Structures are given as C-alpha cells and as structure tokens.
C-alpha cells in the first residue's frame, strides 16, 4: 500500500506491493479523506455466510468505506471508496456508487510491451439490489448487480456496455463450520474478494463456487474452489494495456490467447477465451463491529496465475442513521 504515498502526477509506482506500516497508515488516511466522494467496487452476496447476521439486514441507511486490492504477476488492481445504501427491511436493501481504481503494471510486462501502462481513474456507476433470508435450515442471500457504461474503456474501467449479474449464496451452519455454495449468471465476469481481475469482460457466463468456512466470532477462515463457464462470443478489455488516446480500441480479429490482455487493449474470441477455474482461500479478522481486515489467495489454473488480495473496511452506518433520526 506504499504506492498511495508515491503518486507522481497521477501515475503510480509499479513496485508498490509491500504492506509496510507507513504505507498502511497513509492508505487509511487517504481513503478516510475520500470516503464521501468515491464508492467501493461491489462485493458479491456470497462474501460471507448469512449465519453471521442471523437477524438479516438492519433497516435504515448504510454507509461503508473500503480500500481493497489484488496483486499478481500480471498486475496490481486496487480500488478505493464508499458505498451508500438503504435497507428497506431485514430482507431487502439497495446500494450504489462509483469505484476509484489504481492499476499498476509489472516491470516485466512493460519491458516486453511498452504499450502496457498503469491506469488511475473513476470506474462505472453501479447499483446492487440485495436479498437476505437467514434460516436455521438453510441460509440464502442474493444480489442483482447492475453497472452503467460511464467509465473509460481505454483504461479497462468499463466494457462500453451496461452489465448485469445475478448472484446467489447458500450455506448451512454446523456449529462454527459452514459449507457453502455460490451460483450466478451475468453478461460480465464480476470481481470477487479473492480475485480482482487485470481485465474486464463482456459476454454471457455462469459462475460457481463451493467451499467451507470456519467462523469463530471475530476471526474466520474460508477455503473453496470456483468455476467460470461462459458461452457465446466474449470480449476482454485489458486494464494493463491501453490503446493510444486518439485510437479506437478494437480487436484485431479473434483470438484464443487467454493472456492476450497483457499485449492488447481489446481481445475477442469464443467462450474458451474467458473460461476459468481454480481454488481460493481467505482469512478475515474483525476486531470491532465497524472495522474489518482480510487477506485472500486464489489460483487460476488456466491462467497459471497466483493472486493475492487484501481488504480494509469501515462500517460507517451509525453516522448516517444517527443523522437521519
């Protein structure tokens, strides 16, 4: 997180991957100052088992600030901001916002590909419709995630089309252990807590995940596997390779290269272009109700890519609820 302190005229130092104490303090200060302006990228409904909130949502306004990111050999993708929403009942809520992205490109890619550059900018506007139905027999939560094509496609912050995703999460608690299953469908791949991708996609796909979480109050562990099953034509918009400012970003024919996002701004192809599967694990620590830390790992088998993610979240809902009354 030291990279936040080393911005020079809007560009990030690409070797910002270590989480030193000074960088952590700077990052916390920066997103606290920006929390009223930018909104976080959404986290799917399947982030945590629903048994963590046995009573469902707390009705009223919600406000949260979060700094999160992922690093791999292909890119560092980070976002910063807040999310404002409203829970109409213990079962239904809505939120929305606009994420602010920081993208770093590894030197290894820049050396062989001068067109690969880091990007900084505002992402697309999003809104989430969220459902939550805790039950002793089976917990269920879901979300409909919608985005508008309001961001820069040349930086990979938008696919140039409106997108939608419908995600579903099921789990059952056996004491501190909760096996879970996630299933979703949409016209774009969603980023998750385990993997913020160095590219965005446009094309139909189904996403599945399953695993087990051990929840011991303020501390939890999770592990599982995932599978992405796309169909039809697919378009991949790179977040680490930017086409020229005067050029029209378009693909040069179809491709089967899964790693084409490292050398081309736009890649198109069949479903095989974005098919993916792998495994993931995470650690979450919540010392107090309004503060959350997490560290996650995922491995994409087809991409042969190890990805390391982190998240720092603040629940500021008490601020907007006290003002509303």
Each residue's pLDDT tens digit, 76-96 = 999 987 789 999 999 999 999
Compute CA 309 distance to the chain's CA centroid, rounded to the nearest angstrom. Answer: 10
CATH architecture of the region 36-324 = Beta Barrel (2.40)
Region of poorest pLDDT, from 4-18, 46-60, 83-97, 264-278: 4-18
Distance CA 196, CA 33 (A): 24
pLDDT the model gives residue 108: 74
For residue range 47-64, list pLDDT tens digits in order: 444 445 557 899 999 998
| pLDDT tens-digit map of 155-175 | 889 999 999 999 999 999 999
The pTM assigned to this predicted structure is: 0.80
Q: What is the pLDDT of residues 96-128, one digit of tens each?
A: 988 999 998 887 777 777 767 778 899 999 999
Residue 272: band (very low, low, confident or very high) from pLDDT cuts 50, 70, 90: very high
Q: Which residue has the tokens 């997490």?
A: 294
CA distance 206 to 230: 6
- Mean pLDDT, residues 294-308: 95
pLDDT above 90 (res 265): no
Residue 14 — very low, low, confident or very high, per pLDDT cuts 50/70/90? very low
Answer yes or no: are the C-beta atoms of 290 and 32 closer than 8 Å: no
Any idea what the Cα angle at residue 289 is, between residues 286 and 291, rounded to 5°? 55
Give the domain ranges of the chain.
36-324
């Amino acid at each position: 997180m030291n990279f936040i302190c080393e911005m020079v005229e809007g560009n990030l130092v690409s070797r910002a991957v270590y989480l030193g104490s000074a960088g952590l303090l700077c990052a916390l200060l920066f997103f606290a100052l920006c929390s009223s302006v930018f909104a976080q990228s959404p986290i799917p409904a399947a982030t945590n088992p629903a048994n963590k909130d046995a009573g469902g949502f707390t009705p009223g306004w919600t406000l949260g600030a979060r700094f999160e990111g992922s690093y791999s050999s292909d890119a560092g993708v980070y976002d910063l901001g807040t999310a404002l929403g409203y829970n109409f009942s213990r079962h239904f809520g809505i939120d929305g916002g606009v994420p602010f992205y920081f993208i770093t490109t590894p030197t290894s890619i820049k050396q062989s590909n001068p067109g690969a550059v880091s990007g900084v900018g505002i992402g697309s506007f999003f809104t989430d419709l969220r459902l939550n139905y805790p039950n002793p027999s089976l917990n269920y939560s879901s979300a409909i995630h919608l985005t508008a094509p309001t961001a820069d496609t040349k930086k990979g912050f938008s696919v140039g089309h409106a997108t939608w995703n419908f995600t579903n999460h099921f789990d059952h608690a056996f004491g501190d252990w909760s096996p879970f299953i996630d299933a979703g469908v949409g016209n774009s791949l969603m980023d998750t807590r385990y993997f913020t991708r160095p590219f965005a996609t446009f094309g139909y796909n189904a996403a599945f995940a399953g695993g087990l979480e051990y929840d011991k109050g303020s501390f939890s562990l999770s592990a599982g596997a995932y599978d992405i099953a796309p169909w039809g034509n697919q378009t991949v918009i790179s977040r680490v390779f930017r086409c020229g400012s005067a050029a029209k970003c378009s693909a040069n024919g179809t491709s089967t290269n899964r790693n084409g996002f490292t050398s081309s701004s736009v890649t198109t192809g069949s479903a095989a272009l974005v098919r993916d599967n792998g495994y993931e694990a995470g650690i979450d620590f919540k010392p107090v109700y309004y503060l959350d830390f997490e560290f996650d790992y995922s491995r994409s088998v087809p991409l042969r890519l190890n990805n390391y993610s982190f998240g720092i979240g603040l629940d500021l809902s008490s601020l907007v609820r006290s003002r509303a009354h």
